[in-house]
Amino acid sequence: MNLPAPPVESIAPRPSCAVEPSLGSHPLSLIPFFRRWQPSLLRDLIYTAIWNTLFAVAFTALAVLFNDRIGIGEAFWINFVFAQCIGYPIHLGYIIGDRLLPDINQRGTIVRGAYYSGVAMAGVFVGFLLASALFGHGYLPTWLFSVRGAGSIVVVSLIISGVLLLIFLPRERAARAEAAMAREQARVAAAERAATLAQMKLLEAQVEPHFLYNTLAHVVSLIDAEPATARRMLDRLIVLLRATASAATGAATLGGQLELVRAYLDIIALRMGPRLAWNVDVPTELDALPLPPALLQPIVENAVKHGLEPKLDGGSVTIGARREERTLTLTVADTGLGFRAMRGQGSTGLGLPNLRARLATLYGNAARLTIEDNAPMGSRVTLVIPLP
């Protein structure tokens, strides 16, 4: 397709250069290689130049194939200039159209088809005028506004718009399906988090019957011999029951969990006597920090049950907490048998699988739970969770 040549030959390839419908991505982004760069104005301008050039190459091949009197270099240069002159006005037209009609992609297919075709036609007319001025082809503007010329451009523009819609509409539908799936996944995740929180709150609000029976039996055995100790154990049991009842309805905070832990350790210390020592090393300003229920209590209970009670001379347990920017770090360290010894007895000693599953539901990968040996003996559990 040589220029100057009969105008009917010269217009056919040019309109199909760089039509870029505003569907949120450039036509080149259909190719995985071109999706490596984030969308931007500069990127789209470069992509449009490449897109135009690809069409120039294609129509240069057609021109050389059907017209052996024109050289490859000359044919490419003519097609290249026409492609750029048409492609960039179309690109600009879609940018302006997006600003004026930001909801165009929510309209029906007919409305969008008319929009894309109209912008493409306008770009083709403007591009031909620019290219004819650059090449000095004075006859092109006259031919362009003739019935034959205008009709040809309209037909070609409609074909281009139809092809582009066929390319982009399936992608748009797929994107909408992915967005709907993401929303559904988010809804399911939120429901799972709510269910997990409710389950954890229920767990924290429960007092293990075996623990309750043992405590009451111990109180009965102490009433005659050590009435003061029995009374103190009953007082601490009341505090524990009151705290667990509050846990079922109140907001979960670090201070609330520490109240449960202190009451529990007080009762255990009265039962174990000098075999158990405990300490809570947490600044009072951290008490109001939100903390999902049933995080500290099961770790402390397992430290006592699996680490300290089986040990002949008992030991100590220390609970600590510190805030570091947007995270809360909790530690439970004991001087009991140690993690390796507990595993040798066939127990993890900490019921970590359930706790890890709850943390994963609540925080994903943002929370961290580790267990290690505590020097000189015992185990240390560290829990790191993000703060809102």
**Running DSSP on this structure, what letter comes out for residue 211?**
H
Residue 147 lies in a domain: yes
Helices 352-363 and 147-205 pack at an angle, to 10 degrees, of 140
At 100-129, the pLDDT tens digits run 887 776 777 778 777 877 887 888 888 878
At 132-165, the pLDDT tens digits run 788 876 666 676 667 776 776 776 667 666 666 6
Query: Do 235 and 364 reside in the same domain of the chain?
Result: yes
| Residue where one domain finishes, among candidates 188, 219, 247 | 188
8 Å CB contact between 216 and 248: no
| Residue where one domain finishes, among candidates 121, 155, 188 | 188
At 336-378, the pLDDT tens digits run 888 766 555 545 444 567 778 778 878 888 889 988 888 888 9
Query: Do 96 and 167 reside in the same domain of the chain?
Result: yes
8 Å CB contact between 360 and 303: no
What average pLDDT does the segment 284-294 reach?
A: 86
Residue 198 lies in a domain: no
State the sign of the Cα–Cα–Cα–Cα dihedral 245, 249, 254, 255. Answer: negative
At 205-223, the pLDDT tens digits run 455 666 676 777 777 777 8
At 219-273, the pLDDT tens digits run 777 787 788 888 888 888 887 777 666 655 555 789 888 988 898 898 888 888 8
Report the CATH number that the domain containing residue 369 is assigned in CATH. Answer: 3.30.565.10
Query: Do 221 and 75 reside in the same domain of the chain?
Result: no
Residue 1 lies in a domain: no
Query: Do 247 and 165 reside in the same domain of the chain?
Result: no
Helix (H, G, I), strand (E, B) or coil at 290: strand
Residue 259 lies in a domain: yes
Query: Do 173 and 237 reside in the same domain of the chain?
Result: no
Query: How many domains in the chain?
Result: 2
Percent of the chain whose pLDDT exceeds 70 = 72
Query: Do 182 and 213 reside in the same domain of the chain?
Result: no
pTM for the full predicted model:
0.48
The tokens describing 95, both together, are 């940018």
**Domain range enclosing 147:** 7-188
